[in-house]
Structure 1
Amino acid sequence: MLKSLVVMAVSFLLSTAAVAERLKDISTVAGVRSNQLVGYGLVVGLDGTGDKTTFTSATFRNMLNNFGVAIPPNIDPSSKNIAAVAIHTDLPPFAKPGQVIDVTVSTLGDAKSLRGGSLIMSPLKGADGQIYAVAQGNLVVSGFGVEGADGSRLSLNVPSVGRIPGGATVERTVPNAFAQGDSLVLNLNHPDFTTVRRVSETINSLLGPNMAKAVDATSVRVRAPRDPSQRVSFLSVLENLEVQPAQEVAKVIINSRTGTIIIGQNVRVSPVAITHGGMTVAINENIDVNQPNPLAQGETVITPRTGIEVDEGSGHMFEFAPGASLQEIVESVNQVGAAPGDLMAILEALRQAGALKAELVVI
C-alpha cells in the first residue's frame, strides 16, 4: 500500500512539473479578499434536543421582550426546544446588498442536535463591529444522534452543526482598493523569486516593457487603467496569461499522526548506507498445575511459566549513490519493505547525518 501511494505521488509530481498555469490560479489581486463575519442567535423548533443554559434563557427572554411579551422575573423561560448558536460565514469580495451567502451554525451550549431547527433573524458583524449581513432560515443538518434510557448513545457525523444555504442577506458593501491608484498588485499564492520574475516577464512581453515590476518574492506591481470598467477588462486579460511556475523547494513532509509521507520531486540524498531491521519480542504466559498423589495428602500447586522469544529479524542494508533522485529513494525503501514508521525514522536519521538535501517538515 505504501509503495503504491508513493509511486502515485511520484508519477503525479513528474507529470505536472513543467505544466504552465494560468495567472488566476497561482495569484490573487491585492485588496480583493473575503471578510469573516460572525454572529449570535437562537435556533428554535427543536424536538427536545436544545439546551437549558443561563445565556440561552436570557437571550430568549430578551427576544420576547422585543416582541412586547413580558415574562415575570420569577419564571424561567428555558425550553429544550431552543438552542443558543454561533453563526459564521465569509463575505465574498464585491458582495452587494441584497445578495445571499451561505452560513454555518454551531451550538454554544449543551444542545444535542440542531436537526429540524430554524434560525431566528440574527445580525452578522465584521471585525469592525459593523453589521454586514442578517441570517435567518431552516437548518440543514447532516448528522443525527439517538440516546437510550440507560445512557447509551449513537451519533452519526456531528448533529450539533448545520448550514443554511443562502441563509444570510448582505446588508453592507465592504470597500476595497480595486479601482484606486494607477496600478494593481498581484500576490503569488506561494512566494518564489523565480516565479515572480517569470510573471513580470510574461506580462511585459504582452503589454510592453516596464508595465510589470517584481516587488519581492510574492508581489508584482502592474500599471493599470484608472477607469473601473477598463480595469476589469485589463485584469481579465492578465488572469488568463499562462506562466510556468518554478519548481518547489525540496521538502519532505511527514504527518506523524496519520503516517502520511510526501517526498518532493527535488529531494536528493548524499552517498550514504542505511541498515534497516527490527526486533520482535513475544512473551507467552503459561500455567503448570502440579497435582499430588491422592494418598500423599499433598496440596495442588499452580506454577506460572513464562516463555520469552526474541526475533531480531533480518537486517537490510541499502546504499544511496551520490545525488540519488526521488525515484531511486522510493525504489530502495520499497525493496526493504519499510513501513511508514520505519521510513520516518530513516528520513530523520538521514537529516541528522546531513545526507538529506531537503527541508524536513513534521506536522
Structure 2
Amino acid sequence: MCDSNSKRPGLIRYLGLLVFCILVPGVALEAQPPGGVRLKDLARLATETDNAVVGYGIITGLAGTGDTARNTATLQSVRNMLLRFGVNVPADKVRTRNAAAVMVTATLPAYAQRGDKLDVNVTSLGDARSLVGGTLMLTPLAMADSDIYAFAQGPVSVGGFSYDLNGNLIQKNHPTAAYITSGATVDRSVQTVIIDASRSILYKLHEPDFETANRIVQSLTALLGEGQVKALDAARVQVSVPAAQAVDIVPFLTRVEGVEVVPDTPARVVVNERTGTVVSGGNVVISPITITHGNLNVAISTEFFVSQPLIVGSAVVDSDLSGIGTQVVPETTVEVTEELPLSVALPPGSKVADLVTALNKVKATSRDIITILQGIKRAGALHAELVIQ
C-alpha cells in the first residue's frame, strides 16, 4: 500500500505539466489541418448517370392559338389520335387552331423506379402563338435506344403570355414553352449497376485533380487497408469491395462515402466584368510587383451658334448684298482631366485578397481592379488561372 504522501510527487508533476500547457498555447494547441469534405460531396459513382428522355405529343384546349393548317404534321397527328378513339375524320376537315404539336423532354435520374414522378418541359414544334390553357395528351417518353421509360400527361404551366389585336402585340417571356410539375410517370425502372464483375466500384470526381485523387486514396486506404483503393487517373478512383461486404453493399458505401478528404483547390481567379465580382482561391500567390494605374479622361463638346448679319432686311439698295446670309458657326471645346494615378506595392507572398484590400483602400473601382488583374496576369506575376466571364 502507498500512503497519500507517496502520491504527491506524481500529482505535482501532473499539475506542473498542466500549468505549462496552459501558459504555452503553442504546445497545448497544435495547428489543426483544415476541415475535410465528405467523399460523397467530391465524387459520385461512375454508374450514377442521368438519362434524357424525349417524346412527341399534342396539346389540346388552346383558345385559337394553336398550329395553323399549314402544319401538316399537326393535322396528321390530330387525325391519328381521333382514329385511336374510333373517330374517322377526313384530313381536309381537320381543324387544329385549338391544338399544337410539341416536343416533350425530361431527365430520368439514376435509381428511378416504376411509379416515380418526373418534371417535364414542353416546347412548341409548329407555329402556335401560345400554349396557355392547354393540356398535354398522353405522350410516351423514350431514351436514345427507343425504349419507352415514362409517360407524360397533364395541364401545362406557361410562364408568359401573348395577346395580339388589330396588329398590336403584347408579349411576356416565351408563351410557346411550358412546364409540367410531376407531369411524367416512370413506367420502367432504371437498372443501375454498382459493383462490376471484378467486385469493385468506381468513383468519378466532380473536379478532376491528381492531388485530390491521391488524397482520396490515402483516406480510403486508412479505412479499408492496403491494396483496396487505386487511383486510375485524375478523375477516377477504384475501390475493391470485400466479399463479405458485397452481399450488403449499402452499409459499405455509407462508410466509404462518409470518409473526409481535404481537396486540393486549384489556383484560379474568376472575374465577372458585368458585375465587377472577383472570386479568388486562398492559395493564389502574386509575385513582388508594383502597380501604377491612372485614368485620362478627354471630353470634346461642340456647340452651334447662328450668325445673323444685321444688314439683312435693310433698305440699302445700292450696296452689293450677294454672299451675305445666315450662317451656322460651330464652337468646339476640349477638356482634359487626368486623375491621380493609383500606386500599390506588393511584398513577396501576397495574395489576391491582399491586392484587392490595398486597392479598395485607395478607392479603386471594380473595373480598375479587373483591369489591374489582367495586367498582372500578362506580366506573369499572377500565378493562377484567370477566368473572365
Normalized against structure 2, the TM-score is what? 0.80
Name the structure 1 match of 2:371: 345
Match of 1:309 among 335, 339, 342: 335
Name the structure 2 match of 1:14: none
Name the structure 2 match of 1:354: 380
Unaligned 5+ segments in structure 1 are 1-16
Tell whether 2:227 aligns with 1:214.
no
Q: Post-superposition shift, 1:122?
A: 0.9
Task: Report the identity percentage.
Answer: 40
Deviates more, 1:310-319 or 1:255-264: 255-264
Q: Distance in 2 between matches of 1:299 and 1:356?
A: 66
Q: Distance in 2 between matches of 1:152 and 1:280?
A: 44
Q: Distance in 2 between matches of 1:70 and 1:189?
A: 55
Conserved? CA contact 2:132–2:158, under 8 Å: yes
Q: Distance in 2 between matches of 1:333 and 1:217?
A: 37
- Cα deviation, 1:59-88, whole Å, max 9, x if unaligned, reads 22332233333332434x342322221111
Conserved? CA contact 2:75–2:91, under 8 Å: no
Name the structure 1 match of 2:34: 18
Aligned residues: 344
- Cα deviation, 1:140-189, whole Å, max 9, x if unaligned, reads 2233333443423241x433322222211212233332144311112221
**Higher relative contact order, chain-length normalized (CA < 8 Å, sep 6+):** 1
Unaligned 5+ segments in structure 2 are 1-32, 317-323
Name the structure 1 match of 2:191: 175
Cα RMSD (Å):
2.5
Q: Post-superposition shift, 1:245?
A: 1.8
Match of 1:223 among 234, 237, 240: 240
Query: Following TM superposition, where does structure 1 have runs of at least 4 consecutive aligned residues deviating by more than 6 angstroms?
Result: none
Residue type of the partner of 2:184? A
Superposition map of 1:1-363 within 5 A = 18-52=34-68, 53-75=71-93, 77-155=94-172, 157-181=173-197, 182-225=199-242, 230-246=248-264, 248-256=265-273, 259-293=276-310, 295=314, 299-363=325-389
SS at match of 1:342: helix
Q: Post-superposition shift, 1:259?
A: 4.5
Decide whether aligned partners of structure 1 residues 289 and 71 sit closer, same or farther in structure 2, where only a CA change above 3 A counts. Answer: same
Q: Distance in 2 between matches of 1:229 and 1:42?
A: 47
Q: Distance in 2 between matches of 1:299 and 1:121?
A: 81
Conserved? CA contact 1:123–1:131, under 8 Å: yes
Q: Distance in 2 between matches of 1:340 and 1:296?
A: 67
Decide whether aligned partners of structure 1 residues 258 and 68 sit closer, same or farther in structure 2, where only a CA change above 3 A counts. Answer: farther
Q: Post-superposition shift, 1:202?
A: 2.3
Q: Distance in 2 between matches of 1:304 and 1:296?
A: 30
Residue type of the partner of 2:150? A
Decide whether aligned partners of structure 1 residues 83 and 200 sit closer, same or farther in structure 2, where only a CA change above 3 A counts. Answer: same
SS at match of 1:356: coil
SS at match of 2:249: helix
Conserved? CA contact 1:225–1:231, under 8 Å: no
- Cα deviation, 1:19-71, whole Å, max 9, x if unaligned, reads 32222111101212211111111111122332323432332233223333333
Deviates more, 1:199-208 or 1:25-34: 199-208
Conserved? CA contact 1:276–1:336, under 8 Å: no
Q: Distance in 2 between matches of 1:19 and 1:324?
A: 24
Q: Distance in 2 between matches of 1:113 and 1:128?
A: 32
SS at match of 2:204: strand
